[in-house]
A and B are shown apart, each in its own frame.
Chain A
Amino acid sequence: MSDMTSQHSSWREWLTTDAPTSRRHARLANLYQGWLTLRANSMAMFGLGILLALLLVALLAPVLSPHDPFEQSLSNRLQPLGTEGHILGTDSLGRDILSRLIYGSRITLYIVALVALIAPVAGLLVGTVAGYVGGWTDTILMRITDIFLAFPRLVLALAFVAALGAGIENAVLAISLTAWPPYARIARAETLTIRSADYISAIRLQGAGALRIITKHIWPLCISSLIVRVTLDMAGIILAAAGLGFLGLGAQPPSPEWGAMISEGRRFILDHWWVATVPGLAIFTVSLAFNLLGDGLRDVLDPKDGSQ
Chain B
Amino acid sequence: MVVSDANKERRRRAPLFPWIKGTLLTLGSVAVTMLGLLFVTFVIGRVMPIDPVLAIVGERASQSTYDAVYEQLRLDKPLIFQFFYYLWDVVRGDFGMSLLNARPVSEDIARVFPATMELATLGVFVGIVLGVPLGVIAAVNRGSWIDQIARVVALVGYSMPIFWLGLMGLLVFYGVLGWVGGPGRLGIFYQDIVPTRTGMILLDSAIAGDWSVFRNAFSHIVLPASLLGYYSLAYISRMTRSFMLEQLSAEYVTTARIKGLSERAVIWRHAFKNIRVQLITVIALSYANLLEGSVLTEIIFSWPGIGSYITTALLSADMNAVLGGTVVVGLIFICLNILSDLLYRAFDPRSK
Whether the pair B49, A165 counts as a contact (CB closer than 8 A) is yes
Task: Given A287-B160, A291-B159, decide whether A163 and B319 contact each other with a Cβ distance below 8 A.
Answer: yes
The A-contacting residues of B in range 34-83, CB under 8 angstroms, are 36-37, 40-41, 44-45, 47-49
Q: Is B292 at the interface (CB under 8 A from chain A)?
A: yes
Give the distance to chain B from A194, nearest Cβ to Cβ, in Å: 25
**A152-B288, A159-B322, A159-B323 known; A243-B161 Cβ under 8 A:** yes
- Chain B residues with CB under 8 Å of chain A are 29, 32-33, 36-37, 40-41, 44-45, 47-49, 155-156, 158-165, 167-168, 170-171, 175, 242, 245, 288, 291-292, 295-296, 300, 310-311, 314-315, 317, 319, 322-323, 325-326, 329-330, 333-334, 337
> Are B159 and A152 in contact, with the CB atoms below 8 A?
no
Known A-B contacts A154-B296, A155-B292; A262 and B163 likewise in contact (beta carbons under 8 Å): yes
- B45 to chain A: which residues have CB within 8 Å? 163
* CB-CB nearest in chain B for A276: B167
Can you offer 10 A-B residue contacts whose CB atoms are under 8 A? A155-B310, A155-B330, A156-B326, A164-B49, A243-B161, A243-B162, A270-B171, A276-B164, A284-B159, A287-B161
Interface of B is mostly: helix
Q: Does B295 contact A158, Cβ atoms closer than 8 Å? A: yes
Given known contacts A159-B326, A239-B161, A276-B164, A151 and B314 CB-to-CB distance under 8 angstroms: no
- Residue on B nearest A159 in the bound complex, by CB: B326
Chain A residues with Cβ below 8 Å from B325 are 155
Is A269 at the interface (CB under 8 A from chain B)? yes
Shortest Cβ distance from B6 into chain A, in angstroms?
39
* Interface-located stretch among A52-60, A72-80, A142-150: A142-150
In contact, B314 and A158 (Cβ under 8 angstroms): yes
Q: Are B314 and A235 closer than 8 Å at their CB atoms?
A: no
B158 touches A287 (CB 8 A): yes
Stretch at the interface among A19-27, A113-121, A202-210, A245-253: A245-253
Asked whether, in the complex, the Cβ of B295 is within 8 Å of the Cβ of A280, the reply is: no
Whether A164 contacts B47 by the Cβ 8 Å rule is: yes
Do A147 and B319 touch across chains, with their CB atoms under 8 A apart? Answer: no
Contact yes or no, A151 B295, CB < 8 A: no
CA separation between A276 and B156, bound complex, in Å? 19
Closest partner residue, chain B, to A270 (CB atom): B175
Chain B residues contacting A239 (CB-CB under 8 Å) are 159, 161-162
- Chain A interface residue count, CB cutoff 8 Å, equals 46
A154 CA / B311 CA spacing, docked (Å): 11
* Chain A residues, Cβ within 8 Å of B29: 146
List residues of chain B with CB within 8 A of the CB of A155: 292, 295, 310, 325-326, 329-330
At the interface, yes or no: A86 with Cβ under 8 Å from chain B? no
Specify the chain A residue showing the minimal Cβ separation from B329: A155
Interface centre among A164, A243, A248 (most CB of B within 10 A): A243
Contact of B37 among A150, A164, A259, A280 (CB under 8 A): A150
8 closest A-B pairs by CB:
A147-B36, A280-B164, A287-B159, A288-B159, A159-B326, A163-B44, A152-B333, A163-B48
Partner of B296, one of A143, A246, A270, A292: A246
Q: Please measure, in the bound complex, the distance between the C-alpha atom of A158 and the C-alpha atom of B45, giving whole angstroms.
A: 12
A16 nearest CB across to chain B (Å): 28
Query: B49 to chain A: which residues have CB within 8 Å?
Result: 164-165
**Contact between chains at B315 and A248 (CB < 8 Å):** yes
Which residues from chain B contact A291 at a C-beta distance below 8 Å? 155, 158-159
Determine whether A33 belongs to the interface, using a CB cutoff of 8 Å to chain B.
no
Residues of B within 8 A of A153 (CB): 292
Q: Mark A258-276, 1 if CB is under 8 A from B, else 0.
A: 0100100010011001001
Given A235-B158, A269-B170, A292-B155, 6 more pairs with CB closer than 8 A: A152-B292, A154-B292, A155-B330, A162-B317, A163-B319, A247-B314
> Closest residue of chain B to A160, judged by CB?
B44
Given A159-B323, A164-B49, A273-B171 in contact, is the A242-B161 Cβ separation under 8 Å?
yes
**Whole-angstrom distance from the CB of A136 to the nearest CB of chain B?**
15
Q: Bound state CA distance, A155 and B245, in angstroms?
A: 34
A76 to B337, CA, bound (A): 52
Distance between A269 CB and nearest chain B CB, rounded to angstroms: 5
